[in-house]
């Protein structure tokens, strides 16, 4: 799948939705809950089940990054599945929030 900046994707097996903040350098196999993600708005095929190995949950507002490909995602809707590239879980991009300045 080609993850353009700004493109939005949904999990095939849970409520998770993400937006691409930074595009990867090449094609990647983005999954959520162990299954390839779908373009937002596309209906999931019936019968898919959340893979226990990828069910740590994806909280809204958290960012995920893959330093190797440069891919960065923002979770725009929380879900029970967790994000992975192939079978490798994506790392949470931890950032200390700044003191409010606006």
Partner 1 sequence: MNLAMLLEMAADGLEDRIAVGSRHGGGMSYRQLLDGAAAAAGFFSGRDADRVALVDLNSDAVPLVLFGAALASKPYVPLNYRLTDQQLRAVLSRTAPAVAVVEESVVGRLTGPESGGDVPGVEVVLREALLGAAAAGHAFEAGFTDPDDVAVLLFTSGTTGEPKAAVLRHRHLTTYVITTVEFMGSDEDEAALVSVPPYHIAGISAVLSSVYSGRRLVYLPQFTAEEWVATARREAITHAMVVPTMLGRILDVVAADGQGLPSLRHLSYGGGRMPVPVIEQAIALLPGVSFVNAYGLTETSSTIAVLGPEDHVAAFSSDDPAVRARLGSVGRPLPTLEVEIRREDGAAVSPGERGEIYVRGEQVSGEYEGKGSVTTADGWFPTNDGGYLDAEGYLFLEGRLDDVIVRGAENLSPGEIEDVLVSHAAVADAAVLGVPDDEWGEAVAAVVVLHDGASVTVEDLQQWVRERLRSTRMPTRVEFRTELPYNETGKLLRRVLRAELCA
Helix, strand and coil in the chain, % to nearest 5: 5, 35, 65
Q: How many residues does the chain have?
A: 102
Residue 94, CB-side half-sphere exposure with 13 Å CA sphere: 1
* Residue 75: CB minimum distance to partner 1, A: 9
Residues in contact with partner 1 by CB under 8 A are 5-7, 19, 21, 60-63, 74, 76-77, 95-102
Nearer to partner 1, 21 or 51 (CB): 21
Q: Which is nearer to partner 1, 11 or 34 (CB)?
A: 11
Give min distance, CB of 49 to partner 1, in A. Answer: 25
Dist CA 59 CA 78 (whole Å): 5
Cβ proximity to partner 1: between 69 and 76 the closer is 76
CB-nearer residue toward partner 1: 62 or 69: 62
State the minimum distance, in angstroms, from the CB of residue 86 to partner 1.
Answer: 25
Which one, of 27, 36, 47, lies nearest residue 83 by Cα?
Answer: 36
């Amino acid at each position: 799948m080609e993850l353009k900046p700004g493109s939005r994707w949904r999990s095939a097996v849970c409520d998770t939705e993400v937006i691409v903040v930074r595009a990867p350098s090449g094609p990647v196999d983005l999954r959520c809950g162990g299954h390839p993600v779908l373009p937002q708005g596309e209906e999931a095929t019936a019968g898919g089940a959340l893979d226990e190995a990828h069910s740590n949950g994806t909280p809204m507002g958290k960012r995920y990054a893959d330093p190797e490909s440069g891919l960065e995602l923002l979770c725009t809707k929380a879900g029970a599945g967790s994000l992975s590239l192939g079978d490798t879980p994506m790392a949470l991009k931890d950032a200390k929030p700044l003191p409010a300045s606006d």
